[in-house]
Amino acid sequence: MRYLSSIAGPKITTAAECADLRGHGLSVGLVYEDGTMTTAGGTVAGTHSAQVAIYEAGVVGCPPFSGVVIYLACDTPTPPVGTREYLAAAGPLLQQYGYARGFYGNPDAGRAFLGAGLVDAIWSPETWGSRNMTSVAIVQRVRPPVVIAGVECDIDDLLGPAAGLWMPASHPPCLAA
């Protein structure tokens, strides 16, 4: 999972990084976040986030109309007031460009947003909300992070194809046994 944002920072992905990951046979998930409370901004913030996410997805090379999920982060255990309006504003813009609507946050809230037709996929930390991960596409597990190529990474479980990841550019070469 790699981040898109209107705010510069070390966790924001680049076109070169995405090309490298996909070129090595890895799928890439995209999540948009400007801050932990961005969704509290309601309709105005949702419109802004979707516009920037669409632009940034193009910058890193993820084509429109790909069906890739762009997860909108609500990085708090309980979504703030305004989150429903945020998702209602962002969703149609993402869909207009052929991206699916994702929600990162509390699994119970995610299921409510899924049931209301506001999102297509959910990515949730297993420590927030219920332990029932039904309908959750990706679960962020409570395990010590791993270091891959010098980068500390959380461990997530992909629970189904509904996660909407950006697939690899090609399959890595197979080594003869």
What is the Cα–Cα distance from 165 to 21, expressed in whole angstroms?
Answer: 12
Predicted confidence at residue 10, as pLDDT, reads: 84
Q: Do the domain assignments include residue 116?
A: yes
Query: What is the mean predicted confidence (pLDDT) over 77-89?
Result: 95
Q: Do the domain assignments include residue 144?
A: yes
Q: Do the domain assignments include residue 86?
A: yes
Q: Please give the structure tokens belonging to residue 161.
A: 């194809």
Higher per-residue confidence, 27 vs 153: 27
Nearest 10 degrees: Cα torsion 114, 116, 119, 120 = 60
Q: Do the domain assignments include residue 151?
A: yes
Q: What is the pTM of this model?
A: 0.89
What is the Cα–Cα distance from 10 to 62, expressed in whole angstroms?
Answer: 20
Predicted confidence at residue 68, as pLDDT, reads: 95
Task: Write the CATH number for 128.
Answer: 3.20.20.80
Q: Do the domain assignments include residue 96?
A: yes
| Contact of 120 with 100, CB cutoff 8 Å | yes
DSSP class of 174: P
Radius of gyration of the chain (CA): 16
Per residue in 27-80, pLDDT (tens digit) is: 899 999 999 899 999 999 999 999 999 999 999 999 999 999 999 999 888 899
Total domains in the fold of the chain: 1
Predicted confidence at residue 2, as pLDDT, reads: 92
Q: Do the domain assignments include residue 177?
A: no
* pLDDT confidence band for 25 (50 / 70 / 90): confident
By residue range, what is the domain housing residue 151? 2-163
Q: Are strands 146-148 and 138-140 parallel, antiparallel or unpaired?
A: unpaired
Q: Do the domain assignments include residue 171?
A: no
Predicted confidence at residue 170, as pLDDT, reads: 62
Q: Do the domain assignments include residue 175?
A: no
Per residue in 112-150, pLDDT (tens digit) is: 999 999 999 999 888 887 777 777 887 777 778 888 767
